[in-house]
Each structure stands twice: as C-alpha cells, then as structure tokens.
Amino acid sequence: MKLVCLSCGQANRVPEQKLTAGPKCGACGDHLVRPEPQDVSLDVLQKAIRIDELPMVVDFWAEWCGPCRMMAPEFAEASRKLQGKARFAKLDTEAYPQAGTRYGIRGIPLLITFNAGRELKRKAGVMRSADIVDWVGATASA
C-alpha cells in the first residue's frame, strides 16, 4: 500500500498487514499511520491525496473558529478508533488560505474524505466522535 509521509512528503510502500504496527517513513523516520490527526501542509496534502491508497480524512479548520476547537477532541477520538483503516489530517485554512479555493471550502469545520486521488464525500459542521466514525466507516472498510 502506498502512503505519503505527512511530515516530509516522501512516498512509502507499506504492507497492508503492517498498517497498525507503527510503520515509519523511510526518509525521515516519522510515523506514517498515527493514532492522532496530523497537521499537514497544503503541498504535502495534495501529494498524499494523489498517491495514498488508504482513505484520508481531512479536517479543514482555523484557530479562531470556536466550533473547530470544539470538534478537535472528537476528531482525535475518531482517529484513534479508525487507526489503520483511515488516516486523519488537519489543515489550517488560515495558514493555507488557497485551500479554500482549491477545495471549495465555504465554511469550517469541514471534513473531506479522499481516496485514490479523488474526493469521496464532505460534511461541514461540528460532529461527535461516533458520528465521524460512522460517516467515515463505510469508506474505510470498503
């Protein structure tokens, strides 16, 4: 399975059975599949969306956004529950304002699930952990 390191952007191959065993990037040594969401830059996110063979759930958020801060622990809990079935990333829309145009963001928090180079689904607004797991679940188990 191909996965892009969300820290350095290097593409890696990981045997599917090792996704829950803490695989690390061959270039920088950082974990490829984490139990918690990882902050990501726009360029690395775009590369991961194109290359990754594991669903990626991205939380588009901003520090000033109250609902985004409310949902952050729920998103982290969903990430722990789905570790090895999907990767969870966070992109700060204040740091990367061009993401708004690129992904058609009209409100935050916004979750978008990507897989195999395409957007599968999106949902705006605050969600609880169980709802995120259910929302992602069908995609992650497919």
pLDDT value at position 139?
61
Q: Please compute, for residue 77, the number of CA atoms within 13 A of its CA located in the half-sphere on the CB side.
A: 13
pLDDT value at position 142?
45
**How far apart are the C-alpha atoms of 134 and 128, rounded to whole Å?**
10
- Residues noted as catalytic: 65, 68
pLDDT value at position 116?
87
Tens of pLDDT along the chain (142 residues)? Answer: 999 999 999 999 999 888 888 899 999 999 999 999 999 999 999 999 999 999 999 999 999 999 999 999 999 999 999 988 999 999 999 999 999 999 999 999 999 999 989 999 999 999 999 999 999 986 655 4
Q: SS3 sequence, 80-125?
A: HHCECCEEEEEEECCCCCHHHHHCCCCCCCEEEEEECCEEEEEEEC
pLDDT value at position 138?
63
Name the nearest CA neighbour of 2 among 136, 135, 140, 115: 115
Q: In this structure, are residues 2 and 12 in contact, taking their beta carbons and an 8 Å threshold?
A: yes
**How far apart are the C-alpha atoms of 89 and 76, rounded to whole Å?**
10
pLDDT value at position 82?
94
